[in-house]
Amino acid sequence: SFNSSESSAPSKSAGTTAHKHVPCPCLSLTVYRLQQEAPRPKRMTCPQEMETRPKYYGREFHGMLSRESADELLGGAEGAYLVRESQRQPGTHTLALRFGHQTLNYRLFYDGKHFVGEKRFETVHDLVTDGLITLYIETKAAEYIAKMTTNPIYEHLGYTSLLKDKMGHRLCRRRTEPHRVTFQREDRKITTSPLVRHSTLKDCPSEKQSSYDKIHNFKVHTFRGPHWCEYCANFMWGLIAQGVHCSDCGLNVHKQCSKLVPSDCQPDLRRIKKVFSCDLTTLVKAHNTTRPMVVDMCIKEIELRGLQSEGLYRVSGFSEHIEDVRLAFDRDGEKADISANVYNDINIIAGALKLYLRDLPIPVITFHVYSKFIQAAKMPNPDTRLEAIHEGLLLLPPAHYETLRYLMMHLKKVTMFEKDNFMNSENLGIVFGPTLMQPPEQNALATLNDMRHQKLIIQLLIEHEDVLF
């Protein structure tokens, strides 16, 4: 909304046209009509050159004026505006705007663009145009706006129906959920009830579909031409930043409606520009898989020809070749060729897998559970420590949980060839700790202090993967 910082905006009840709200095209068109009827901005120019005028203002700047003088200059014309230096706070600027038969005063800011609230504009004139539209619609259709999200079309039309139609053509997959496990120590071995052990997920070509929830990646968006909200079916008003747009699936909604849209984003592959550095859940939803294809393909190749390679994951491959693998995945996706015919050195594939995991915008062990894992690592009692680690795993998003589970199964297999590759769980913990776990705030000292705890967490995940997952 167009909020004043020097005076209150007019009462929304003043001049309100009552609308009995039922979201329908005719009422939504009423909002569109109101936008067309909104007062047009009228710039009141200063007749003399002002030496104190900032370079980012034009002739609408009138220097230091009182509210009363500004009100007199505007002359009662709806939509008339000027910019003045505040007498109450010299050095600050105020937008004086005539609307609803009164003069409204807004604290005006500039940081390369002009703004009085969240929206930023190239010119003061555009700011006033958008403000008049907002004030006019909020005044004339206040009741309608207040109720427009109460009867959404989202479940019946538009995006959700399209999503269900798309998903109906895909194979169903049994969802594997993490189960709660109770730990007891008997003769220094961890035991669990067979009723709560997590069954191993076997790879099956027919079990590809991901049923993970994913929140929409909404960003403020400026729509060209008239647009209607895909949640409530109502017109999205304003000159710029009329609503938000999901950059992953393309859903367009009002900003206030975005808070009500369920976490059912189904990313469109055409909108996913790359594989590396892409959010993990977004990638698996877009490709309709349970795990990122990079993880599956690299692990498959490593287990095919690299488990006995000395220093596996510790020895680095050539960075140029690792970069080639990254580009191949970004360009070709699951069709990328990472076979021995192209990359004979298995360390290149291992390096590409580590790079992928390290470059995730949200680490596999996510920021919001990082501290829980670090605290678990500090616990002196082994049973309590494993319990705490297990509790942390239950808090991971499903795609992150499944990726971590599959990776730990693989690393456990790597340790079975320790006589050949010289990589035990502790060595792998040193390698993968900083890769899979990153603190929410980049603090060099804290990161350094956490490294031994990160190593221990990954070491324990590998050693007890059959129990913890």
Chain Cα centroid distance, residue 370: 19
Centre a 10 Å sphere on the Cβ of residue 152 and count the other Cβ atoms it contains: 22
The answer to whether residues 346 and 322 touch, using CB atoms and an 8 Å cutoff, is no
Whether residue 222 is predicted with pLDDT greater than 50 in this model: the reply is yes
CA distance 357 to 311: 19
Question: At how many degrees (to 10) do helices 398-415 and 444-463 cross?
Answer: 70
Q: Which residues contact 153 (CB under 8 A, 6 or more apart)?
A: 23, 231, 232, 233
CA dihedral angle for residue 130, residue 135, residue 136, residue 142, rounded to 10 degrees: 130
The string of pLDDT tens digits covering residues 127-174 is 999 999 999 998 988 877 777 767 676 654 444 444 444 444 333 333
The answer to whether residues 251 and 260 touch, using CB atoms and an 8 Å cutoff, is no
The string of pLDDT tens digits covering residues 54-101 is 999 999 999 999 999 999 999 889 999 999 998 888 889 999 999 999
pLDDT at site 268? 79
The letter for the amino acid at 4 is: S
Give the containing element (helix H, strand E) for 30.
helix 25-37
pLDDT at site 38? 92
Could you write out the DSSP letters of every residue in 399-436? HHHHHHHHHHHHHHHHHTTHHHH---HHHHHHHHHHHH
How does residue 208 score in pLDDT terms, banded at 50, 70 and 90? very low
Q: Give the range among 6-20, 112-126, 198-212 with minimum mean pLDDT.
A: 6-20
Report the chain's C-alpha Rg in angstroms.
30
